[in-house]
Structure 1
Amino acid sequence: MTRAETYQLRAQLLELLREAGHPINSAALARMLPWHTERLDLGCELVCLAPRHNRDLEVVECHGNWHVVRRPRSSQDSGAGIYRHLRSLAREGLVRAIKQGPRRVEWEYIARLR
């Protein structure tokens, strides 16, 4: 993920939390975001020709031994996931983590006075 993509994702997360006006968990936030586009270094047998049990993967470009695909975001994706970005926003004082249980956290926008 480039620096520009990181800033854009964090801005989208802040906007979603601000507009919601109530705490939201990271999985729900991930579902609200636009799908993620990425390159997969996999052949057609694993992408184009594989049985489609999961319809949440859209092939954008097929190049034989690599593909460009789109898929929904997840809170735990490496690189493109949102959890690490939410933690960073919390360190900056822009959002607050509200612990709901041992492995359950909701996130809330913190209004800043100008």
Structure 2
Amino acid sequence: MQQRECLDCDLSNLNLPDTDLSGVKLNRSKLAGANLKGANLKGALLDSVDLTGADLSGAVLTDVTLADANLTNANLSGATMTGAFLSGAILEGTNLSNVDLDGADLSATDLGKANTKGANLPKK
């Protein structure tokens, strides 16, 4: 099995819609403005990643780790994020409409001005 890892990489404005990136390790990388619409990121390790303004709409983010990630103004509409770990993530202005966050950990997460319309938020 090929290991997919790129730590501290600058992948800003990357264009990989509908791509299988499951299990990828991109900790501390810059993905600002990236197009990952519909991508499969199941089980990905994305700690401290900069996803400012990225498009992750419809993406599969099941069991993804996004601790301390910056998702300011990112589009996650319709994404599946069940079991995701978002502790300390910044979701200021993020579009979380119709996102499934069942079982997700949002502890110490900044949801300021995030659009959560129709989102399935975790039960406390």
- How high is the TM-score relative to the length of structure 1? 0.25
| Greater RCO, 1 or 2 (C-alpha within 8 Å, sep 6+) | 1
Q: Which structure has the greater CA radius of gyration?
A: 1
Q: Greater share of helix residues, 1 or 2?
A: 1
